[in-house]
Structure 1
């Protein structure tokens, strides 16, 4: 029944889907035809508008293009270039440039010597005077030549005023004497663009917008700048550390090399307002004698809206009736599904009520069973904790047994010394040599204190732990463990390196049980390296948030990779048969888990085994 219903639904949907597809195709074709017809007309008017903008730019800049040549004809300028250090000639040249700048209406006019340093300027008597400044880093100096004008746009490094720089070389024969420069303001040109209906921008060879009818776009970029372009701009100090971020222009379609359909982040209205983004036709043209590109944007929003309207009208006629039919059929089917769902819901409700009582009884029985299981689990955990404490204590006693030879050696040495010193003291006392007797007695005391410290450490280590965590200094625990292992480390010529972050770290644990872990891990490392020529153990500790990571690394043969996953299983050992029960690592891992941490084993990259543990810090109780 269900497959038949699905086929019926599919048969009902297919005609509607076909009608929608036909309507979509009709609308798309209509939109494309209407848009392309309007676009051909718009491109013609956009080209004319680009001509007008280009003419206004060339007219604005062209009127100043010959003034650098005029400077080369003045006698005071030539006289100063012939003797740059003559103060009288400099004053005469400053006055000439000041008068020239006032007459022609430029921002500044100044003269550079051959090295690129300003020797005369129209603003010589102002706070922002250029006189004495080294401008050799500017491209208009580097590119200046005789008989041609070098052009450059940038922001002044002294007064931060943007302008268009025109420069030419002043020469006498084949010898270049200096560079004449005039700085022109393009504000009037930008104001005339702002009053036009179409946005326009002037961009440099890197794509940086130097002039724009939209103020927000100025000193933005048409595309992201690469590292080489940013370095070149920075060396020329062209834009005075401006951010030069992309303005957000995105190209949607390329009509030819200089014509594109783009989406702009914003446009300026004729009343000076700033509107939202829109669809535009971008017409570009390279400006002669400059590395600049002029781009004029023609708004395509109305044309796009009109094309969309025609597309909607074309598709609406074929879609309207079929759409109404589809809505009616869908509503009818939806009402049927609602009625069926209500009937199923009522049936489910009746069935659910009949099962509630059975489920309640079953849940009550399950809760009772879970309560008994929880109690049994708690008893088992208490038994396991008691067993673990017993195993820890047994491990301590076993460790004491392993250390017995070293302990005997540590005690025998001071005892032998005490016998010798006491016998000598009697003989020297009989001779009356009291100074020697006093010296012997003074050497007896540190020997006795050493024996007492050793027996005290053994007593402390052997006592049963309370199991309660407290603040513990890591360095103190390490020193106590190394004191107990001193004989094994000395006998095996093991080099022990301690690296603790900050010198010492407080832990939150039981010190006695933690000593057992360190004693077990360091002892295992000594056993693993036994017989080696160069035996080293590195113990490092670092803070990691609320925990301390402690690594114990040896330079032994390492752990078999196939056995790493079984290292902490009870009765598993890599030692020879009869040496150890395989419970040391299991007990140590359980102790670290009780502290709220973790113990893991791995192999170091350079060889040897690494046992890493994390333990809560002593900054407060671990949560």
Structure 2
């Protein structure tokens, strides 16, 4: 079946392409003949009137009027002369323009919409005639809205140019003769606007999109009297030899009545018209070519099927005779082979079942071992954190306790002596030390308790102060220099103060670990407002981050510290906290050395920070 379908498709496609190419070649030959006929008819129609504007300078009254434009009697005589000449020639109108662009005489002088007195300096044919002696232009009249072809020529007395004679010709009769032929045709100007067409709805459409500059020029020259100039809907499909193209035309108006198809796929052939910037295009519909190609392709497919069926019948007869001889022997061999495979498969299934059970047991034991190792690692990290925290607490509270013991003993002696002022001073210092111990334990309690997870306005300088206070002992022991750059008033971010301090303590603690053994350890802290975000950076002067560490920095349980020192969860949890705030946590290396961790948090719109 696959072979049959392949042969059917190949033969049908080949037949379709060959017949279509032959049909297109025949259409091209016919189209070239039609181009010759249409081009000749258009040149003949225009040529009948091309000489007429040049003959007006033979009339003395015309030249006299152009020299003396205000002579009323002379103007009336020339108007009558142009009126009679227009009727005899069968043109739309004939008029004279002086060198300033004003119409001084016209064949339609009797009508209310006469051209006499109009300023036509904006018309391109007037300017072209003054420059080169002749002007050609197709446009729509600004007075009556009649489309026509303008032929203009300069008039002179032999020494100087006196004015321009203009003849307006209607090409409507030519269009009517084109409408009776068997295929559509049209003439487009240099801007792609259809000015003549055998289909009425094609007239004053565009074969390509107009640029805004071109539309502005049309508004100035009023060439098409502010017509909409909608697209024709012509789309080029493929280019062929000798300038021919396959195009499609969309059917814009379903009510169009025509003796031939005006929508669908066409063979388009174009030719420039001599003496004009126009292009004549003839469209040959492809329906007949496609129908013939499809019918020939169908015949080729049917013939292929018949030949294939005959071949299959002969081949099937040969195979049937051969199969009958080998059927009994093959059946016996198949029975013996099936018996052997059943016995082999039964033994293999028993072995495979035992192996599967052993693998399941090994995997369960391995998972238990891994889970136990992970529990031990978590417990070791917890013990290390508790030990480090207890050492800091003992050191922080030891000095205030010793001072309390000394001051309380001294207060008893001074009280016995009656020195109340000194006793009061000692008691005030005892109160201060007690407040200090309360702040230490309060900060630890705040750091330890579970956050409410409610976003509030938090001043970044206050968060830095609280974080540095908790790590004050480690900073003093490591002789670390802390540099802060936070403008006043400090940026106020929308976040949770406790969780933000947890992130800062983790980052500053990691910075201290990274600078362990460094000769001049230094931590730089900065905060600023950038647009709608608050940015806070923590930079150390350590060795920085390698590419391997950078790629796994925020992965849970990844750590560069020794076993038992850290769990590798701090940065992963910190990144999750920043995402909860709607912010980000990023890491990079500073150009001058050391690692930089950047926190970006949305700014608070409420303004006042939460105390």
Asked if 2 retains the 8 angstrom alpha-carbon contact of 1:196 and 1:270, the reply is no
Equivalent position to 2:288, from 294, 302, 315: 302
Q: 1:342-384 CA deviation, whole Å, 9 max, x = no partner? A: xxxxxxxxxxxxxxxxxxxxxxxxxxxx99x999999999999
Residue in structure 1 matched with residue 560 of structure 2 by the alignment: 572
> Would the alpha carbon gap of residues 387 and 476 (structure 1) be closer, same or farther in structure 2, given more than 3 Å must change?
farther
Asked if 2 retains the 8 angstrom alpha-carbon contact of 1:118 and 1:134, the reply is no
Q: How far did residue 153 of structure 1 move?
A: 4.0
Asked if 1 retains the 8 angstrom alpha-carbon contact of 2:232 and 2:249, the reply is no
Residue in structure 2 matched with residue 237 of structure 1 by the alignment: 218
Larger radius of gyration: 2
**TM-score (ref. length: structure 2):** 0.57
Equivalent position to 1:552, from 513, 537, 541: 537
Residue in structure 2 matched with residue 467 of structure 1 by the alignment: 450
State the SS of the aligned residue for 1:463.
helix
> Would the alpha carbon gap of residues 376 and 311 (structure 1) be closer, same or farther in structure 2, given more than 3 Å must change?
closer
Q: How far did residue 290 of structure 1 move?
A: 0.3
Q: How far did residue 534 of structure 1 move?
A: 13
Residue in structure 2 matched with residue 247 of structure 1 by the alignment: 234
> Would the alpha carbon gap of residues 322 and 601 (structure 1) be closer, same or farther in structure 2, given more than 3 Å must change?
same
Q: How far did residue 595 of structure 1 move?
A: 6.5
Equivalent position to 1:287, from 262, 269, 273: 273
Counterpart CA distance in 2 for 1:159 and 1:397 is 102
Counterpart CA distance in 2 for 1:53 and 1:470 is 84
Asked if 1 retains the 8 angstrom alpha-carbon contact of 2:559 and 2:568, the reply is no
Asked if 2 retains the 8 angstrom alpha-carbon contact of 1:146 and 1:170, the reply is no
Counterpart CA distance in 1 for 2:589 and 2:120 is 66
> Would the alpha carbon gap of residues 295 and 467 (structure 1) be closer, same or farther in structure 2, given more than 3 Å must change?
same
State the SS of the aligned residue for 1:288.
coil
Q: How far did residue 299 of structure 1 move?
A: 2.9
Counterpart CA distance in 2 for 1:153 and 1:120 is 21
Asked if 1 retains the 8 angstrom alpha-carbon contact of 2:239 and 2:246, the reply is yes
Counterpart CA distance in 2 for 1:127 and 1:457 is 103
> Would the alpha carbon gap of residues 21 and 563 (structure 1) be closer, same or farther in structure 2, given more than 3 Å must change?
closer
Q: 1:49-89 CA deviation, whole Å, 9 max, x = no partner? A: 33442244335544554565578746445545x99xxxx99
Aligned pairs for 1:514-529 (under 5 A) are 514-521=500-507
Counterpart CA distance in 2 for 1:157 and 1:604 is 73
Counterpart CA distance in 1 for 2:305 and 2:266 is 28
Counterpart CA distance in 2 for 1:498 and 1:328 is 97
Q: How far did residue 294 of structure 1 move?
A: 0.7
Q: How far did residue 199 of structure 1 move?
A: 1.2
Asked if 1 retains the 8 angstrom alpha-carbon contact of 2:457 and 2:492, the reply is yes
Equivalent position to 1:203, from 188, 209, 231: 188
| Structure 1 residue 150 corresponds to structure 2 residue 139 | no
Q: How far did residue 200 of structure 1 move?
A: 0.8
Counterpart CA distance in 2 for 1:157 and 1:44 is 42
Equivalent position to 1:278, from 232, 246, 265: 265
Counterpart CA distance in 2 for 1:92 and 1:570 is 105
> Would the alpha carbon gap of residues 585 and 600 (structure 1) be closer, same or farther in structure 2, given more than 3 Å must change?
farther
Residue in structure 2 matched with residue 442 of structure 1 by the alignment: none
Q: 1:463-491 CA deviation, whole Å, 9 max, x = no partner? A: 24443453324642454325765999xx9
Aligned pairs for 1:443-454 (under 5 A) are none
Counterpart CA distance in 1 for 2:374 and 2:183 is 83
Counterpart CA distance in 2 for 1:603 and 1:159 is 78
State the SS of the aligned residue for 2:459.
helix
Q: How far did residue 248 of structure 1 move?
A: 0.6
Counterpart CA distance in 2 for 1:289 and 1:149 is 12
Residue in structure 2 matched with residue 496 of structure 1 by the alignment: 485
Counterpart CA distance in 1 for 2:574 and 2:521 is 31
> Would the alpha carbon gap of residues 101 and 603 (structure 1) be closer, same or farther in structure 2, given more than 3 Å must change?
farther
Asked if 1 retains the 8 angstrom alpha-carbon contact of 2:266 and 2:283, the reply is no
| Structure 1 residue 264 corresponds to structure 2 residue 256 | no
Asked if 2 retains the 8 angstrom alpha-carbon contact of 1:31 and 1:307, the reply is yes
> Would the alpha carbon gap of residues 118 and 464 (structure 1) be closer, same or farther in structure 2, given more than 3 Å must change?
farther
State the SS of the aligned residue for 1:470.
coil
Q: After the TM superposition, which of the residue ranges 516-525 and 101-110 deviates more from structure 2?
A: 101-110
> Would the alpha carbon gap of residues 246 and 483 (structure 1) be closer, same or farther in structure 2, given more than 3 Å must change?
farther
Aligned pairs for 1:60-75 (under 5 A) are 60-62=45-47, 65=50, 69=54, 73=62, 75=64
Aligned pairs for 1:141-220 (under 5 A) are 143-145=128-130, 148-153=133-138, 164-169=149-154, 186=171, 189-190=174-175, 192-205=177-190, 207-214=192-199, 215=201, 219-220=205-206
Counterpart CA distance in 2 for 1:585 and 1:127 is 95
Asked if 1 retains the 8 angstrom alpha-carbon contact of 2:188 and 2:279, the reply is yes
Q: How far did residue 198 of structure 1 move?
A: 0.6
Counterpart CA distance in 2 for 1:174 and 1:400 is 115
**TM-score (ref. length: structure 1):** 0.56
Residue in structure 2 matched with residue 427 of structure 1 by the alignment: none
Residue in structure 2 matched with residue 342 of structure 1 by the alignment: none
> Would the alpha carbon gap of residues 182 and 469 (structure 1) be closer, same or farther in structure 2, given more than 3 Å must change?
farther
Structure 1 unaligned segments of length 5 or more: list them.
1-8, 334-369, 409-447
Q: 1:247-290 CA deviation, whole Å, 9 max, x = no partner? A: 11333521x35xx252433589873686652343x443321210
Residue in structure 1 matched with residue 576 of structure 2 by the alignment: 593
Q: 1:504-545 CA deviation, whole Å, 9 max, x = no partner? A: 5534x5x312212134436767998996999784556677xx
Counterpart CA distance in 1 for 2:162 and 2:492 is 73
Q: 1:103-148 CA deviation, whole Å, 9 max, x = no partner? A: 665489684856x79999989977999956862xx65455434664
State the SS of the aligned residue for 1:237.
helix
> Would the alpha carbon gap of residues 519 and 466 (structure 1) be closer, same or farther in structure 2, given more than 3 Å must change?
closer
Q: After the TM superposition, which of the residue ranges 298-307 and 610-619 deviates more from structure 2?
A: 610-619
Asked if 1 retains the 8 angstrom alpha-carbon contact of 2:194 and 2:202, the reply is no
| Structure 1 residue 476 corresponds to structure 2 residue 431 | no
- Length, aligned pairs only: 522
Q: How far did residue 323 of structure 1 move?
A: 3.8
Aligned pairs for 1:362-441 (under 5 A) are none
> Would the alpha carbon gap of residues 134 and 97 (structure 1) be closer, same or farther in structure 2, given more than 3 Å must change?
farther
Residue in structure 2 matched with residue 411 of structure 1 by the alignment: none
> Would the alpha carbon gap of residues 559 and 209 (structure 1) be closer, same or farther in structure 2, given more than 3 Å must change?
farther
Counterpart CA distance in 2 for 1:617 and 1:279 is 64
Q: After the TM superposition, which of the residue ranges 309-318 and 118-127 deviates more from structure 2?
A: 118-127
Counterpart CA distance in 1 for 2:136 and 2:451 is 83
Counterpart CA distance in 1 for 2:78 and 2:508 is 86
